[in-house]
Amino acid sequence: QVQLQQSGAELTKPGSSVKISCKASGYTFTSYDISWIKQRPGQALEWIGAINPGSGGTGYNEKFKGKATLTVDKSSSTAFMQLSSLTPEDTAVYYCARSFGAPGWFAYWGQGTLVTVSS
């Protein structure tokens, strides 16, 4: 079955960077885009962007350009998201998700990674 296993919670300081991972299993990794989605308490979910693991091609929400960088390692079927120049507003749960059928129908989600930015 399709599984997306994310890395553990991170506690980071303002101005630093963090890289979280999403290991895929149960399907052909290069066949489906992986998206990343941000969730802050009491706020709407935000789509950060997506990466095509086969080509490495990316698409970003303009709001997150310069903040998030998406990459993959095909050899380990793992997607990564690096967040830079962290501020307290980056404190959130971050999910990776895979579509099925049309891009943007997120049928499979990782368990989420809590990133806390605090001095």
- Where do contacts with another protein occur on this chain (CB under 8 A)? 35, 43-47, 59, 61-63, 95, 101-107, 109-112
CB of 82 to another protein, least distance (A): 19
Q: Name which of 80 and 95 has its Cβ closer to another protein.
A: 95
Q: Name which of 32 and 95 has its Cβ closer to another protein.
A: 95
CB of 27 to another protein, least distance (A): 15
CA distance 75 to 103: 23
Q: Name which of 44 and 89 has its Cβ closer to another protein.
A: 44
Q: Name which of 111 and 118 has its Cβ closer to another protein.
A: 111
With beta carbons less than 8 A apart as the criterion, state whether 37 and 94 touch: yes
User: Which residue, among 46, 92, 55, 90, has the nearest Cα to 74 in the 3D structure?
Assistant: 55
CB of 107 to another protein, least distance (A): 5
CB of 15 to another protein, least distance (A): 26
